Structure 1
Amino acid sequence: MLESLRLTGFGVVEEATLELGPGLTALTGETGAGKTMIVAGLGQLLGARGDAGVVRHGQPKAVVEGRWLVPPPVADRVRDLGGDIDGDELVTLRQVSAQGRSRAVLGGAGVPVTALADVIGEIATIHGQSEQIRLSSPERQREVLDAYAQPAELERYRAAFTERRAAAAELARLEDESMARAREADMLRFGLSEIEGVDPQPGEDEALAAEQARLVDLDDLRALAAAAQEAMSGAEDNFDAPSAVALIGESRKALAQLAGRDEAAQQLADRAVELGMLAADLAGDVAGYVADLVADPLRLEAVGQRRSQLACLTRKYGHSVDEVLQWARESAARLVELVGSDERIGELRRRVEELDEQLAADAAMISARRREAAATLEEQVTRELSALAMPHARLRFDISDADLGPHGADRIELLFSANPGSTPAPLGRVASGGELSRVRLALEVVLADAEEGHTFVFDEVDAGVGGAVGLEIGRRLQRLATRSQVIVVTHLAQVAAFADAHFVVAKSSTGQVTTSDVALLSAEERPAELARMMSGSSGSTAGLDHAVELLGSAARQSEK
């Protein structure tokens, strides 16, 4: 339920606040006073397009704020979107700048306008000329019938239809790509077989390159190593040639003698001993290195052949053996995926067949429930239309078979006939604006039980009618308001007389600026406004008497 609506800088409204309650609320005022601006403001909270045109001249922005009492499911949705709920009270806001930038706030959290519209759309509906147009569409007519029939299988059907559409799309894609997948799988198998045949090891290419370079440079390496060995250990054919080991040995002996005479030289002697051992170790290692430098032509040839095999792989699958191995791992995983796609095709085909059977069964049940509900709904709406001064009107749902779609396998069209003897024809083609308004009201009255606690806003529901018909419209709005909150913008006193609360919109002008103000009428003020609505004058005694009589009649009928 909408508790309050505040408009600031919105169109001709400079500042207005409506404190609303349950029941029926009427908004009246002279033509052009700005009544529809209240509805337009509420429309902003329901996602209506906001542009600079809604901002009052000279104001930086237009602001519409609504305070709502919301049920727990709606409160949960608000919290999911990051908003806060104070008890069961929700504050919503829509702001449009003079530059046309729009902002929506839900429970204190900034949200997209579509999110605000989705949430408030669950608890409020505006019925205006646009709704009359929507009622002419088959989609809206189906929604109306489903709101009454409430087929239990419909939610399951929609979920299955969504799954079936996704499965069919994936199946079509996999089947279209099957030849490309087969070619890719063959290519991967060939590559993996080639790599497996060579069996490269991590880092093998680098190790072989180093080994081959060593084998090729063997003579140079032996010469250099032999020179180092001779310098360290001396020449084998010249025992008198100096060597590093012999020279260090002489130095060690001299320092040992020196340390025997001077303790200060002991550290030098110790270091000489250490250096001698290091020199001896190095000399041994150099000798071992020289001994290992043995020419091996067979090994050199084997290394060359192995490097050639690895090069064939690195030309195709990577710049190094490690990259080739990485390609092999990724390709093996991709091959599993490709093979699995063929299995997935089989699974999808079976699932689509299962879903087709389920959809067909559910669609048949939904269609049966719709046909059963349509007969009852037609009868009840026709009865309401008779009370709305359309005694010969007939409303009929034409339900025919159609292909499976998101909402079943029915083609639904609402047919209407206003006069006896005329063949029912599509509602949007044969009904006048006034007839559409009454059809819409009759449907809402019948469907009210399905939307208890909802907020309904009717704009121009009494268009094209008057007199006794206006009384019936008022009576039905009041009846609808016993289960829901109803706000009606009306020009008929017969409708406004049934209201529990009555606001009047008045226009004032300074000659340069026009402003609309909204005021709640007291019980004493209502007769004058009703008299003005009936006769154009609020001061005549006869008009006032008629207004008082009308209010009394409405009150008595409301008590029945």
Structure 2
Amino acid sequence: MLSQLYINNIAVISEATIDLKPGLNVFTGETGAGKTILINAINAVLGERASKDSIRTGESKAVISALFEDISSEAAAALEQAGYPAEDGSVLITRELDISGKSTCKIDGRPATTGILKNISGHLINVHGQHDNQQLLSAQKHLSFIDSFGGLEQEVAQYKEVYQKYVSVKEKLENITTDEAQKAHRIDLLEYQINEIEAAQLVQGEEEQLKARRKMVKNSLNITQALGTCMALFEGEMEGGGLQEMFGSLVENISQAASYMEEAQPIAQRIEEISYEMEGFERDIRGLLEDFDCDPSELDAIERRLDTIYTLKKKYGSDIQEILNYRDNAWEELRSIENSDQQIKELEKQEQKLFSLAREKALHLSERRKQASQQFVFAVGEELAFLDMPSVQLSVMAKEKPLSADGMDDLELMIVTNVGEQAKSLAKIASGGELSRIMLSIKNVLADKDEIQTMIFDEVDTGVSGRAAQKIGKKLAQVAQNRQVICVTHLAQVASFGNNHLYISKESRNNRTYTTIVPLTREQRIRELARISAGENITPIALSHGEEMLKEAGN
């Protein structure tokens, strides 16, 4: 359950630590005090979208944290799978918003993403707000109610797996069985591309070698002159004698000095070793010069070859390897098209087999949905009768549709509000108060199908009053016997059933608005119920009525 909620710098809430208890927790307060902000803060910490505009004016960041204790095995498994094991059965989720628009999420102090928060929070808490009532107006959502109530999620997943395979094969078949003219055009194009690439006889690394050769040919004169000068220096064709002659004289003289001077011996030895290297240098340079054969006319052939490679690169890839890969893929596609008749036969068999299997599973799923629909309507009907709507009857209108991602069932919840009338669409005749109670009834029957320990209702009593409001309070109290319920309400009849009553108020100090959230004692609850019922002018009769409501609610 959600045991503590901490809010810092969210709208009019400067800082608040809210301790929540098992059972029914109710929030009441004056208009604009921050009841909606409270729900938005909970949604934010659970991974929903949070805007920087929600940060309190003048502050640079906001923080929201939620501590869950005694979490269910299902929630613990989801945390474990996400990499956040809840070793002590509790988990702390934190969301920090920055004025720059960035937000950070943490689970037990470790970084997380909003996607992870959403997945995990789905096992921790169920938030029902006013926008959820609009789900009743969407026929597409009705199917998920039936699947959830009937526990059909695994069967739906098995059907979807087969259906997706069927769609994949169907798409492949459609791609192969294209118009014959298009097929012929594609064959011509592929053959042209393959022939063009193969005619070039490309070799890996060829482009780099050609560029290096082009550089050498362009500078052949410079190379010949430089190597010739080197040989002239060695052979003494220039003034001052050759390097070999001078180095030989150097070796002779330093060796003579070393024969008389011990300190010169290491130098003489090193110079003698270098003299051998000089002989090697001369041979190597002579070999380069003798072997150098570069015809300037070769440059034209190199440029033409590079131009061919460049043209192919513009069409088929950024380098030779990509061009060759393109050719291989073209060959594969060409063979596929040429062998398409056989492939078509094989795919047609697969398509027929998968369609039959998908339809078989869809028919089974449809039958299970019919059974679940009857039980669902009955269960919701009992809830509605308790909520003072005995004449309201729900039914499920089922139509068969072509196979789709969710099966072959087109389901819509229908409603009869008065005896003797025909069933009509919820969207056409249900009032706001009726939608609230119908949605509460659906939430209650679906709640028994999961392990979520905390349910939040935001003004579920909208559009109702009197006896109906009292029944909603009783129903919430019943639900709270097996799980934690948090309810934001504006009706005293509902608030009176709370096990933990928290009051939200606001005040102005130094030209700023501050919101406080405090738990109420029994005496304070009586006064708050009187205020909700009678307004700010609280009379003894109103106080007496508030006390009576608490007694009737068992508080």
Structures share a fold, TM > 0.5?
A: yes
Superposed displacement of residue 545, structure 1: 3.5
2:333 aligned residue: 338
Superposed displacement of residue 475, structure 1: 1.2
Residue type of the alignment partner of 2:408: A
1:232 aligned residue: none
Deviations 1:5-50 (A, max 9, x none): 1111111111112122322110111223222211121122344442
Structure 1 residues 326 and 162, CA gap change in structure 2 (3 angstroms): closer
1:158 aligned residue: 160
1:114-153 superposed matches below 5 A: 114-151=115-152, 152-153=154-155
1:481 aligned residue: 480
Structure 1 residues 178 and 388, CA gap change in structure 2 (3 angstroms): same
Distance in structure 1 (CA, Å) of the matches to 2:50 and 2:326: 54
Distance in structure 1 (CA, Å) of the matches to 2:488 and 2:378: 28
Name the TM-score, length of structure 1 as normaliser. 0.71
Residue type of the alignment partner of 1:384: E
Distance in structure 1 (CA, Å) of the matches to 2:309 and 2:57: 70
Find out whether 1:183 has 2:188 as its counterpart.
yes
How many equivalent residue pairs? 474
Residue type of the alignment partner of 2:156: L
Distance in structure 2 (CA, Å) of the matches to 1:329 and 1:55: 57
Structure 1 or 2, whichever has the larger Rg, is 1
Residue type of the alignment partner of 1:416: I
Name the TM-score, length of structure 2 as normaliser. 0.71
Superposed displacement of residue 405, structure 1: 1.6
Superposed displacement of residue 72, structure 1: 5.0
Distance in structure 2 (CA, Å) of the matches to 1:326 and 1:440: 62
1:323-472 superposed matches below 5 A: 330=325, 333-334=328-329, 337-338=332-333, 341-342=336-337, 345-346=343-344, 348-472=347-471
Find out whether 1:25 has 2:30 as its counterpart.
no
Structure 1 residues 104 and 426, CA gap change in structure 2 (3 angstroms): farther
Superposed displacement of residue 131, structure 1: 0.7
Instruction: Give the conservation status (yes or no) of the 8 Å contact 2:96–2:103.
Output: yes
Identity %: 29
Instruction: Give the conservation status (yes or no) of the 8 Å contact 1:83–1:106.
Output: no
Superposed displacement of residue 541, structure 1: 4.0
Instruction: Give the conservation status (yes or no) of the 8 Å contact 1:448–1:484.
Output: no
Distance in structure 1 (CA, Å) of the matches to 2:172 and 2:111: 37
1:276 aligned residue: none
Structure 1 residues 331 and 135, CA gap change in structure 2 (3 angstroms): closer
Structure 1 residues 102 and 122, CA gap change in structure 2 (3 angstroms): farther
CA RMSD of aligned residues (A): 4.7
Instruction: Give the conservation status (yes or no) of the 8 Å contact 1:449–1:483.
Output: no
1:34-183 superposed matches below 5 A: 34-69=34-69, 70-71=71-72, 73-75=74-76, 77-78=78-79, 85=86, 87-97=88-98, 99=99, 101-107=101-107, 108-151=109-152, 152-176=154-178, 178-179=183-184, 182-183=187-188
1:479-518 superposed matches below 5 A: 479-510=478-509, 512-518=511-517
Deviations 1:318-371 (A, max 9, x none): 99xxxxx98997577436622564568545444333322222111111111111
Instruction: Give the conservation status (yes or no) of the 8 Å contact 1:51–1:100.
Output: no
Distance in structure 2 (CA, Å) of the matches to 1:112 and 1:167: 36
Distance in structure 1 (CA, Å) of the matches to 2:427 and 2:123: 26
Structure 2 counterpart SS, 1:450: coil
Superposed displacement of residue 314, structure 1: 10
Superposed displacement of residue 441, structure 1: 0.8
Instruction: Give the conservation status (yes or no) of the 8 Å contact 1:532–1:538.
Output: yes
Superposed displacement of residue 173, structure 1: 4.0
Superposed displacement of residue 439, structure 1: 0.3
Residue type of the alignment partner of 1:4: Q
Structure 2 counterpart SS, 1:57: coil
Distance in structure 1 (CA, Å) of the matches to 2:368 and 2:504: 46
Structure 1 residues 28 and 159, CA gap change in structure 2 (3 angstroms): same
Deviations 1:151-206 (A, max 9, x none): 2421111222333334434444455585465335544776799799xxxxx9xx99
Instruction: Give the conservation status (yes or no) of the 8 Å contact 1:317–1:327.
Output: no
Gap runs ≥5 in structure 1: 197-201, 207-281, 283-311, 320-324
1:252-271 superposed matches below 5 A: none
Distance in structure 1 (CA, Å) of the matches to 2:199 and 2:517: 86
Instruction: Give the conservation status (yes or no) of the 8 Å contact 2:531–2:537.
Output: yes
Distance in structure 2 (CA, Å) of the matches to 1:18 and 1:172: 60
Distance in structure 1 (CA, Å) of the matches to 2:110 and 2:200: 59
Superposed displacement of residue 410, structure 1: 1.2
Distance in structure 2 (CA, Å) of the matches to 1:193 and 1:533: 87
Distance in structure 1 (CA, Å) of the matches to 2:332 and 2:169: 18
Distance in structure 1 (CA, Å) of the matches to 2:437 and 2:364: 31
Distance in structure 2 (CA, Å) of the matches to 1:94 and 1:166: 41
Structure 1 residues 537 and 327, CA gap change in structure 2 (3 angstroms): closer
Instruction: Give the conservation status (yes or no) of the 8 Å contact 2:74–2:123.
Output: no
Structure 2 counterpart SS, 1:22: coil
More displaced 10-residue stretch of structure 1: 46-55 or 444-453: 46-55
Instruction: Give the conservation status (yes or no) of the 8 Å contact 1:461–1:490.
Output: yes
Gap runs ≥5 in structure 2: 211-282, 284-303, 312-319
1:544 aligned residue: 543
Structure 1 residues 173 and 526, CA gap change in structure 2 (3 angstroms): same
Instruction: Give the conservation status (yes or no) of the 8 Å contact 1:415–1:427.
Output: yes
